């Protein structure tokens, strides 16, 4: 008999898994080129050539026993942590040392480590809808309670009035994700300043520490030169969770890091705890080869123009057909208003045209659907006539 707590998690994750299997089934019947699978956030731009070269060099040059061994510190290689800190300091005028960096198994691993070291049972974690649905499971992993701020469908910036009201003495953490999955919205500097001011006031009011967790796998995926504020500069109790999954197209390699700055309350304890959490959650340490790869590739970038082209074509194409959506400023998702209230039924209707998209209720925002445009440009172009047929059912 599986654990009670797992039952809900299994039930909730089955929707996206079912979609994935449906994609495979349709591809077998109609051919992969006739299936428009926009369901997954799996980058389809190859990792930069430098990543491959780095792997080859490391494999050729390093002692294989040490390379494939456990790391001395569960937080990661000291030189890698230092190099990450130096690179952040250069880019964001911060003052981190290697000690502030904990290498993680992607952003997912980092978020689980962060929540593991922060949450006591019953502690509350606030997230702004729409949010990455896994936050609910990650919070539940440590017996926390996820508190949702309802979506601001005007512009998908967080609803700060509601946020203020939802902070309680039990609020331990607030998760923000900008550029955002699923909306593609980048939280403005003004939003961040206001959010930080609210959190400062509430910390004083309750005499507590409220940690801001910045989940930023999409930091590098911002279009038209839009600035993505670096949150440690606005609020002292900020922990950053970064990932190379999207920025270097390495999602399967599972590599990222946490930044726990000195300014964070109890930072030394948190940093030591993060190292222990990495071990006892079963990660032990972030993958050693990938730690060394990212050190060599700190200045590498994915080909963002590829996603940008998809963004323009899809956004313009769908808008012309009558669909409503905010033009994304980052990430590789379009969050489109469902033309019928029941967006799950709309996703089913789209499937008739071999279009696979994810219901907004997976992100705590029913009435919308997410279209992941990290697919080939051809898929986007070829899907538009199908979207046109779909649109005819509604407009
Ligand atoms: N956070 C958000 C908002 C994401 O969209 C994802 C993956 O899609 C993750 C975290 C997990 O990323 P990683 O592959 O780095 O674990």
What band does 20 get if pLDDT is binned at 50, 70 and 90? confident
Span of 17-21, 56-60, 95-99, 167-171 with lowest mean pLDDT: 17-21
Query: In a mutational test of the pocket of ligand 1, which residue from 16, 38, 127, 134 has the highest number of ligand atoms less than 8 Å from its CB?
Result: 134
- Whether 17 has a pLDDT exceeding 80, the answer reads no
Q: Given 3-state DSSP classes, what are the helix, strand and coil percentages for the chain, each rounded to the nearest 5?
A: 45, 15, 40
For the stretch 187-230, pLDDT in tens is 999 999 999 999 999 999 999 999 999 999 999 999 999 999 99
Please choose from 103, 132, 363 the residue to mutate so as to test ligand 1's pocket, defined by most ligand atoms within 8 A of CB.
132
Mean pLDDT value of segment 88-100: 98
The whole-number pLDDT of residue 250 equals 98
Instruction: Give the DSSP H/E element, type plus range, for residue 345.
Output: helix 343-351
H/E stretch holding 238 reads strand 238-243
Per-residue pLDDT, 90: 98
Ligand 1 atom nearest to 106, measured from its CA: 15
From the CA of 306, how far away is ligand 1's center (Å)?
Answer: 20
Q: Stretch 295-299: mean pLDDT, rounded? A: 97
| Ligand 1 binding pocket mutation candidate from 176, 183, 243 (most atoms within 8 A of CB) | 243
Cα 35 to ligand 1 centroid, rounded to whole Å: 24
pLDDT (average), residues 88-93? 98
Tell whether the model's pLDDT for residue 12 goes beyond 90. no
CA pair distance 237, 254, nearest whole angstrom: 26
For residues 303 and 249, what is the distance between their CA atoms, to the nearest angstrom? 10
Mean pLDDT calculated for residue range 17-45: 90
86 confidence band (pLDDT: 50, 70, 90): very high
Residue 363, pLDDT > 80, answer: yes
Residue 108 Cα to ligand 1 midpoint, Å, equals 6
Q: Which atom of ligand 1 is nearest to the CA of 256?
A: 15
User: For a substitution probing ligand 1, which of 42, 107, 130, 364 has the most ligand atoms within 8 Å of its CB?
Assistant: 107
The dihedral region occupied by 176, where left means phi > 0, alpha psi between -120 and 50, and beta the remainder, is: beta
CB-CB contact of 307 with 301 (8 Å)? no
Buried b (16+ CB within 10 A) or exposed e, 249-277: bbbebbbbbbbbbeebeebeebbebbbeb
State the closest ligand 1 atom to the C-alpha of 111, by its place in the atom list counted from 1.
Answer: 10
331 CA from centroid of ligand 1 (Å): 11
Q: Which atom of ligand 1 is nearest to the CA of 109?
A: 16
Per residue in 306-317, pLDDT (tens digit) is 999 999 999 999
Nearest to 332 by CA among 39, 130, 135: 39
Atom 12 of ligand 1, residue of closest alpha carbon: 107
Residue 371 confidence class, pLDDT cut points 50, 70, 90: very high
Q: Which atom of ligand 1 is nearest to the CA of 132?
A: 3
Mean pLDDT of 237-262: 98
Q: Quick one: pLDDT at residue 302?
A: 96
Nearest to 372 by CA among 188, 390, 383: 383
Residues with a CB atom less than 6 Å from ligand 1:
41, 106-108, 132, 177, 181, 215, 217, 243, 245, 251, 256
Q: Which atom from ligand 1 is nearest to the alpha carbon of 105?
A: 16
Mean pLDDT along residues 246-275: 98
* Ligand 1 site-directed mutation target among 106, 114, 213, most atoms within 8 Å of CB: 106
pLDDT of residue 10 exceeding 90: no
Which helix (H) or strand (E) segment holds residue 271: the answer is: helix 267-280
pLDDT (0 to 100) of residue 283: 98
| Ligand 1 atom nearest residue 243's Cα | 15
> What residue owns the CA closest to ligand 1's atom 7?
41
Please give the distance, rounded to the nearest whole angstrom, from the Cα atom of residue 60 to the centre of ligand 1.
Answer: 31
For the chain, give the mean pLDDT: 96
105 C-alpha vs ligand 1 centroid, how far in Å? 11
pLDDT range class, residue 14, cuts 50, 70, 90? low
């Amino acid at each position: 008999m599986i654990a009670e707590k797992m039952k809900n998690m299994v039930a909730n994750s089955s929707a996206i898994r079912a979609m994935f299997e449906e994609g495979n089934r349709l591809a077998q019947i109609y051919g992969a080129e006739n299936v428009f699978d926009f369901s997954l956030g799996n980058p389809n731009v190859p990792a930069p050539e430098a990543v491959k070269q780095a792997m080859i060099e490391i494999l050729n040059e390093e002692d294989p026993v040490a390379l494939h061994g456990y790391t001395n510190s569960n937080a990661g290689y000291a030189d890698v942590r230092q190099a990450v800190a130096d690179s952040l300091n250069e880019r964001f005028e911060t003052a981190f040392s290697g000690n502030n960096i904990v290498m993680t198994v992607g952003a997912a691993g980092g978020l689980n480590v962060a929540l593991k070291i922060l949450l006591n049972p019953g502690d509350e974690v606030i997230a702004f809808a729409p949010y990455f649905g896994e936050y609910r499971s990650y919070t539940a992993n440590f017996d926390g309670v996820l508190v949702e701020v309802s979506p601001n469908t005007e512009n998908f910036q967080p609803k700060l009035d509601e946020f203020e009201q939802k902070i309680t003495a039990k609020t331990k953490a607030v998760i923000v994700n900008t550029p955002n999955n699923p909306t593609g919205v980048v939280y403005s500097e003004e939003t961040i300043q206001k959010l930080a001011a609210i959190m400062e006031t509430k910390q004083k009011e309750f005499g507590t520490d409220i940690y801001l967790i910045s989940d930023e796998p999409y930091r590098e995926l911002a279009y038209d030169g839009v600035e993505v504020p670096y949150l440690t500069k606005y609020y002292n109790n900020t922990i950053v969770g970064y990932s190379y999954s999207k920025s270097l197209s390495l999602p399967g390699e599972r590599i990222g890091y946490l930044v726990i700055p000195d300014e964070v309350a109890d930072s030394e304890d948190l940093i030591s705890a993060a190292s222990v959490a990495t071990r006892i959650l079963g990660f032990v340490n972030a993958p050693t080869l990938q730690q060394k790869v990212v050190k060599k590739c700190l200045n590498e970038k994915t080909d963002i123009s590829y996603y940008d082209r998809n963004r323009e074509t899809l956004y313009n194409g769908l808008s012309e057909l009558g669909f409503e959506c905010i033009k994304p400023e980052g990430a590789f998702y379009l969050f489109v208003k469902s033309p019928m209230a029941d967006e799950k039924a709309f996703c089913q209707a789209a499937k008739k045209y071999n279009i696979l998209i994810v219901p907004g209720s997976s992100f705590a925002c029913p009435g919308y659907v997410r279209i992941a445009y990290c697919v080939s440009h051809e898929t986007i172009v070829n899907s538009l006539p199908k979207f046109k047929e779909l649109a005819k059912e509604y407009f």
